[in-house]
Amino acid sequence: MENQVALGIDIGGTNTVYGLVTKEGQILYHHEIPTEGFNPAIGLIKRIESRIQEILEKDSQLKLSGIGVGAPNGNHFTGMIQDPPNLSWGNVDIVNLFKDKFRSDVVLTNDANAAALGEKYYGSAKEMNDFIVITLGTGLGSGIFSGGNLLYGYDGFAGEMGHMPIEHNGRRCNCGNRGCLEAYASASGIKRTIKSFLKDNPDDALLQKLNSNSLDGFLIDSEYDKGNPMAKKIYSFTGDKLGQGLAQAATLLSPEAFIFYGGFSNAGNRILDSAKISMDQHLINGQAGHIELMRSGLPQGQAGILGAASLIWSSM
Amino acid sequence: MENQVALGIDIGGTNTVYGLVTKEGQILYHHEIPTEGFNPAIGLIKRIESRIQEILEKDSQLKLSGIGVGAPNGNHFTGMIQDPPNLSWGNVDIVNLFKDKFRSDVVLTNDANAAALGEKYYGSAKEMNDFIVITLGTGLGSGIFSGGNLLYGYDGFAGEMGHMPIEHNGRRCNCGNRGCLEAYASASGIKRTIKSFLKDNPDDALLQKLNSNSLDGFLIDSEYDKGNPMAKKIYSFTGDKLGQGLAQAATLLSPEAFIFYGGFSNAGNRILDSAKISMDQHLINGQAGHIELMRSGLPQGQAGILGAASLIWSSM
């Protein structure tokens, strides 16, 4: 019997995960490869194509219905990836590059929107119409469902919650502004917090250990669990800022829940507990206490593939 | 020939405007009466009902298709007006009160959503799918269209943009929080600005004149037009704060335009010019310069009636 599958691709700054997904959300095959963002995008596409063609040739029952792509700065309307952070691609017409190789339908969205679609169709948000998925990694992204629809905005760039200003004249952000949520509540934001705390506490052993190029989230987590007061301080500061941003978004959108996804969401309640307190403090009276903060219901790395694949099923 | 009309009602803190509206947006009859919010809501309903019945009896061609109501804190999902500001009604089941009197379909939304619907169906936003209407009066309300849909959120309370925090530890707001946009960018916010400026400039003649219970917006406008530096300072301060709030909302929702409605929007570019500069400063690079600020395309008082009436046409 013929088995229709979509190819879901989640392009990340470091690695790219892709997989063949049935309409029911079963991942028949998946693979993770380095994105190699220092090389042109076509290299990545060729590597994916040769592997997928091989699989499709081996199993003649599999029929490719289309390709869904989630990528940083991926624009659903234009089909372009526009100057993605951590990739030296500039502006790439990724949809047409994939179409040329695969002769198949190709739909693009950004990585956070793909994660939100994944949660809606296959994860924690199946029964929800109003929720916001927040991807916590190097940066902070968001995908917004309201009234059962994913919001794109006029130009396809809705959901830039990481760049909502939460501090007037706060930390300078890569985007050129000051005080963006992402400059506090993300792996790169925590690194800056560590550097700033180190100035006031130059002898703190944990801060000294953490003050390196890559952020060791597991170390903070384990020190937090042992009761280390500096680990608690790092996460309560981060959660407080995150909660301010959540309150801003909730005041506009009144979601049922925020769902957290991405590497740094593994800190879980260590951050989310203080984020919840801060969010509730900043909400108007009626809303406080009603909005849930929860972690993704999908295994790490799968929401992106599933969400990208669902772009095909929802467009059919 | 039978002429189908909807009764559109815009309930305000001081006055209520209602009218009979055709599907094409023609207002066949409209009337403004005091809301008398110190009396129970049923009194207002009875006054509207007796007038409308009279008109319907006189013109047997008119057929009432339904009643759309826009009201402060009106909840589309529950049909309740919940503890409205400036009205001593507590929680009122307004939909059922109207149904009992009129034996007709009744649909409720809040006043800012009604204004947004009016702009979408009959005003400046006919060709837009992504825009935010901001009602500037005693307070600041907003109605959000995204992807062609009015956003209600999980509980019907989406769009509380007036209560987005824009200043950490800023002015205390009626809602219980600090630094809400409404505490700066609204008639009541400007009154507070005047009081605060007066402390530093106790001899300023304009500030002395303005420091009374009701805000004289026309006086600020005319002094602004004459080049009075204090009038300019009041509006540039207000516009700067408003722009911060617009940037926050735009970062999440990426609208094509913000459309301003309500008494205090008459200040027009006197405030919107500095709001635009401030908004663009706070937006991420790609968005700055692309979002329009414009005034309502509907006569004062009509967007509310038209929008409330369109609740009936869009639900049919």
How many inter-chain contacts (A to B, CB under 8 Å) are there? 133
- Measured CA to CA, the distance from residue B316 to residue B311 in angstroms comes to 9
Residue A117 confidence class, pLDDT cut points 50, 70, 90: very high
Provide the chain B residues 49-108 that lie in CB contact (below 8 A) with chain A.
82
In tens, the pLDDT along A96-114 reads 999 999 999 999 999 999 9
User: CB distance from B282 to chain A under 8 Å?
Assistant: yes
Whether residues A252 and B247 touch (CB distance < 8 A) is answered with no
Q: What integer best gives the mean pLDDT of chain A?
A: 93
Provide the chain A residues 129-148 that lie in CB contact (below 8 A) with chain B.
129-130, 142, 144, 146-147
Give pTM, 2 decimals: 0.93
Contact in structure between B161 and B143 (CB atoms under 8 Å): no
User: CB distance from B161 to chain A under 8 Å?
Assistant: yes
Q: Which chain B residues touch A154 with a CB distance below 8 Å?
A: 128-130, 254-256
Residue A4 confidence class, pLDDT cut points 50, 70, 90: very high
Q: Pick the residue of B146, B161, B180, B290 with the most A CBs within 10 A to test the interface with A by mutation.
A: B146
Closest to A160 (Cβ–Cβ): which among B146, B154, B284?
B284
User: CB distance from B157 to chain A under 8 Å?
Assistant: yes
Q: How far is A153 from chain B (nearest CA, A)?
A: 5
Whether residues A251 and B161 touch (CB distance < 8 A) is answered with yes
* Range name among A45-59, A185-199, A209-223, A245-259 with the lowest pLDDT average: A209-223
Is the torsion defined by CA of A70, A76, A79, A82 positive or negative? negative
Provide the chain A residues 207-246 that lie in CB contact (below 8 A) with chain B.
244
Whether residues A254 and B156 touch (CB distance < 8 A) is answered with yes
- Measured CA to CA, the distance from residue A35 to residue A304 in angstroms comes to 15
ipTM value, please give it.
0.91
* Range name among A13-17, A302-306, B144-148, B261-265 with the lowest pLDDT average: B261-265
Q: What is the pLDDT at residue B152?
A: 96
Whether residues B256 and A290 touch (CB distance < 8 A) is answered with no
Write a three-state SS string for chain A: CCEEEEEEEEECCCEEEEEEECCCCCEEEEEEEECCCCCCHHHHHHHHHHHHHHHHHHCCCEEEEEEEEEECCECCCCCCEECCCCCCCCEECHHHHHHHHHCCCEEEEEHHHHHHHHHHHHCCCCCCCCEEEEEECCCEEEEEEECCEECCCCCCCCCCHHHCECCCCCCECCCCCECEHHHCCCHHHHHHHHHHHHHHCCCCHHHHHHCCCCCCHHHHHHHHHCCCHHHHHHHHHHHHHHHHHHHHHHHHHCCCEEEEECHHHHHCHHHHHHHHHHHHHHCCCCCCCCCEEEECCCCCCHHHHHHHHHHHHHHC
Q: What is the pLDDT at residue A46?
A: 96
Whether residues A251 and B285 touch (CB distance < 8 A) is answered with no
Q: What is the pLDDT at residue B177?
A: 87
A256: nearest CA in chain B? B154
Mean pLDDT of all residues in A149-155: 96
Between residues A310 and B175, the one the model is more confident about: A310
Q: How far is A124 from chain B (nearest CA, A)?
A: 16
Q: What is the pLDDT at residue B209?
A: 92
Q: Which chain B residues touch A134 with a CB distance below 8 Å?
A: none
**Residue A112: closest CA among A75, A146, A147, A82:** A75
Q: What is the pLDDT at residue A265?
A: 83
Whether residues A254 and B154 touch (CB distance < 8 A) is answered with yes
Residue A272 pLDDT greater than 90, yes or no: yes
Residue A153 pLDDT greater than 80, yes or no: yes
Residue % of chain A over a pLDDT of 70: 100
- Highest mean pLDDT pick, A163-172, A278-287, B48-57: B48-57
Residue B292: beta bridge partners? Answer: B257
Q: What is the pLDDT at residue B147?
A: 97
Whether residues A151 and B286 touch (CB distance < 8 A) is answered with no
User: CB distance from A253 to chain B under 8 Å?
Assistant: yes
Residue A27 confidence class, pLDDT cut points 50, 70, 90: very high
* Range name among A86-95, A282-291, B218-227, B274-283 with the lowest pLDDT average: A282-291
Tokens linked to B189: 């916010």
Closest to B152 (Cβ–Cβ): which among A147, A154, A156?
A147
The tens place of each residue's pLDDT in chain B, 316 residues long, gives 789 999 999 998 889 999 999 999 999 999 999 999 999 999 999 999 999 999 999 999 999 999 999 998 999 999 999 988 778 999 999 999 999 999 999 999 999 999 999 999 999 999 999 999 999 988 899 999 999 999 999 999 999 999 998 988 899 998 888 899 999 999 999 999 999 999 999 999 999 999 877 788 899 999 999 999 999 999 999 999 999 999 999 999 999 999 999 878 888 999 999 999 999 998 886 777 899 999 998 887 788 899 999 999 987 7
Q: Pick the residue of A149, A253, A259, A278 with the most B CBs within 10 A to test the interface with B by mutation.
A: A253
Closest to B154 (Cβ–Cβ): which among A82, A256, A283?
A256
Q: Which chain A residues touch B130 with a CB distance below 8 Å?
A: 153-154, 158
What string of DSSP letters covers B204-257? -HHHHHH-SSS--HHHHHHHHHTT-HHHHHHHHHHHHHHHHHHHHHHHHH--SE
